[in-house]
Amino acid sequence: MNKALKALKEYVLSGEFLSEPSEIHALWFGFFSSWFKLRRDKMSDELKEQILNEYHYYTAGFFIGRVVQGIGILLGWRCVI
């Protein structure tokens, strides 16, 4: 486990993490789609391509959104699930 955390830390600090706009878009759309249902058929081809090329960022954003919702539920906030 320690090696995995060290590798993740090196990756984040190397400047490769969220270094391109498509990575940021995929992360944001993942987070947004965890709160609201996004339909890919209504997205532009450019956005679809960014999400498919950076699917790991999309998944991470979706996971972060769900974690925020879980924390909100534990704190008594009303969340859209």
- Identify the pLDDT of residue 63: 93
Domain map of the chain by residue range? Answer: 19-75
Q: 62-79 pLDDT, tens per residue? A: 999 999 888 888 887 765
What is the mean pLDDT of the segment spanning 54-66?
A: 89
Kindly state the average pLDDT of the residues 15-43. 77
59 vs 16, more confident = 59
Short-list 11, 50, 9, CA closest to 27: 50
| 32 pLDDT above the threshold of 80 | yes
Cα 16 from chain centroid?
16
